[in-house]
Amino acid sequence: MNSLRPAPHHKAEDWASAKVPLLRFLNACHSDFAAENGGNVASYIPELGKADPAHFGISLATLDGHVYEVGDTKIPFTIQSMSKPFVFALALDTLGAAQVESEIGVEPSGDPFNSIRLNADNHPFNPMVNAGAIACSGLIHRAKGDGALEYIRQALGRFAGRELGVDEAVYASESATGDRNRAIGYLLRNSTVIKDDVSAVLEVYFRQCSILVTARDIAIMAATLANRGVNPVTGEQVLTPYAISRTLSVMTSSGMYDYAGEWIYRVGIPAKSGVGGGILAALPARLGLGSYSPRLDSHGNSVRGIKVCEALSLHYDLHMLNRSDDARNSIIADYNIGKSASRRSRRPHEQKILAAHHHDVRIIELVGTLTFANVDYVSRQLAGRPRPQFIIFDLRRVAAITRAGARLLAEGIRELAVFNVTVVISGIKRSTTEWEPLGEWVKGISNLRNWQSLDDAIEWAEDQIVYRHGGTIDSTEITELSEQALLAGLTADELTHLASLGTVRTYQPGQRIITAGEPATSLFFLRSGVVHVKLPDGIRLATITAGMAFGEMGLFETHRSADVLADNAVTALEIPLRDFQRFREEHPRIGERIMRNLAQLLANRLIAANARVNLLTTN
């Protein structure tokens, strides 16, 4: 195919309408494969034979809810056998896995999908052949009676994210020509797999196969399977992850009729086809694909749909057994507070304690999806170094955690508790279903803490180190100007003179002292309390404690670049910048000393920022 043909040159003003690479690829597939005229429209069900053989649509749904569409993606057609995996999953959740799995097998049959044959236990081989699918419909009928069809239709609608109708003409045609399925039904009745009236069960089955969908619908349905049962467009958890994973397993081995082995060898994506011309493919944790083209090959699979799936898998290397994920890439940074401390300014006695015990707080920043292998790798990194008192796992860049990863992480946290290591988790900003198992498994662990931001977590751990080693953190203690780093080297008389230029201000907790964007008119020396420096978007730049100055950038800038808010009760000496500048001009030696001190403070901030960047680029 010509999917790698050079993209045409566009003017700059065309940028907004330019196609993203994946959409461009799907367009190339549609263009190249539309000329494929092999295969025939299904005719053994007369109404299906009326489909337009030229129809061809491709849709791909991502797990963040974006849907790509090319061609005839809104043309309705009947779902046919593509209903089978969804009804099987529905049966698992409705009747329980034990009952369903005791009546329907999960082995490939090697026979055509409509074979009138059961396995050695007189049960259907799997739920993807007609015998297994009719048995699934029978199980739903057993549980829901006359409401079975509506129950199935609504469930399929939740997978698609919209209400789905039934094509009555196709239903009538299927029912009129469905003698082979009736034979299968009575065979199942004779084997006591179907316990209800065979005609009633087949009524459900024929109507379920006649539900109308589009290529867009089946892409979203496939993406819901790929997303552990969560519809990526609506956000609804349609069915349980257990039912979804077992369904994908059977789709892998038996979803493409007697072409299933060849399919998984060449394409490697769990899939299901239907004689209406549809193919849905669900790549777990990646995407859902839906295609529609009614020309079928000898196996009953869409000729164009097969080509689309093969091209997508080959071009983007999507075969599920050809994964290249490396567990070692899950750690983006691994350091202690000696390399990157919190943004809280520390008084000299606190700095001394933290410098002596910097190995006692270890921070591991993680990224991507935490799988079993990822968490195991992290655990082994912990075991390979001296044991700290605090371990902080920062998860703000973690997109998801698997159930196996969550269980292994919880077991690791419990193991650390045995050695009196406190685990701090930061960065989980919202409650999602995938984090619920971790929360359940770590209940009752006393050595576990949770902070929203990494900096808050590091600051809390630093405080604990200070306390444990006899230090104090007293924000109410009054500091003198002689303790100000900006004023280091000034004599007592010079400090007294400087103090006379200012006014002591008092601020209440939460009160705004400086507002971003306002003119810079004052310099503040914090005497007691704590203030936070934040950007307008809420990101904290620094926490300043007594003995430090703030607003000093007003010496260089005419307007404030950040907000400063009182964290608790605060007192500060406010000196107008014009008076401070005059003081420096009148005392050149003092002015030079202050600017040297300021240069050193700014250099220290730059060193800390560079250290932070180095951590992210060298791990």
In degrees rounded to 5, what are phi and psi of residue 250? Answer: -70, -35
Tell the residue number behind the tokens 């770590």, with chain if given. Answer: 442
Q: Identify the helix (H) or strand (E) that includes residue 366.
A: strand 361-370
Residue environment code for 44-66, b if the CB has 16+ CB neighbours within 10 A, otherwise e: ebebbeebeeebbbbbbbbbeee
CB atoms within 10 A of CB 456: 17
Catalytic residue among 81, 137, 273, 291: 81
315 half-sphere exposure, CB direction, 13 A CA radius? 17
What is the residue type of 235?
Answer: G
d(CA 159, CA 149): 15
CB atoms within 10 A of CB 561: 15
Q: Identify the helix (H) or strand (E) that includes residue 95.
A: helix 83-95
Catalytic residue among 84, 210, 303, 313: 84
For this structure, is 249 an active site residue?
Answer: no
569 half-sphere exposure, CB direction, 13 A CA radius? 4
Residue environment code for 427-438, b if the CB has 16+ CB neighbours within 10 A, otherwise e: bbeeeeebbebb
Catalytic residue among 275, 375, 421, 530: 275
> End-to-end CA distance of the chain, in Å?
41
Q: Do the Cβ atoms of 78 and 209 come closer than 8 Å? A: yes
Cα–Cα distances (Å) from 314 to 309, 318, 320, in that order, read 8, 7, 11
Rounding to the nearest 10 degrees, give the CA dihedral for residues 39, 44, 45, 46. Answer: 90
Catalytic residue among 68, 151, 205, 292: 205
For this structure, is 84 an active site residue?
Answer: yes
Strands 448-451 and 422-426: what pairing? parallel
Cα–Cα distances (Å) from 220 to 98, 108, 282, 283, in that order, read 29, 26, 10, 12
Q: Do the Cβ atoms of 378 and 331 come closer than 8 Å? A: yes
Q: What is the crossing angle of helices 83-95 and 148-160, to 10°?
A: 110
| The Cα angle at residue 257 between residues 255 and 259, in degrees rounded to 5 | 100
For this structure, is 17 an active site residue?
Answer: no
For this structure, is 81 an active site residue?
Answer: yes
Strand-by-strand arrangement of the 57-62 sheet: 67-71, 57-62, 287-292, 278-283, 271-273
In degrees rounded to 5, what are phi and psi of residue 555? Answer: -70, -20
SS3 379: helix
Give the burial class of 110: count Cβ atoms within 10 A of its Cβ; 0-12 exposed, 13-18 middle, 19 or more buried.
exposed
What is the residue type of 195?
Answer: K
Nearest one of 216, 82, 91 to 160, comparing CA atoms: 216
379 half-sphere exposure, CB direction, 13 A CA radius? 19
For this structure, is 257 an active site residue?
Answer: yes
Q: Do the Cβ atoms of 209 and 149 come closer than 8 Å? A: no
Cα–Cα distances (Å) from 591 to 30, 55, 586, 587, 598, in that order, read 73, 81, 8, 6, 11
Active site residues: 81, 84, 205, 257, 275
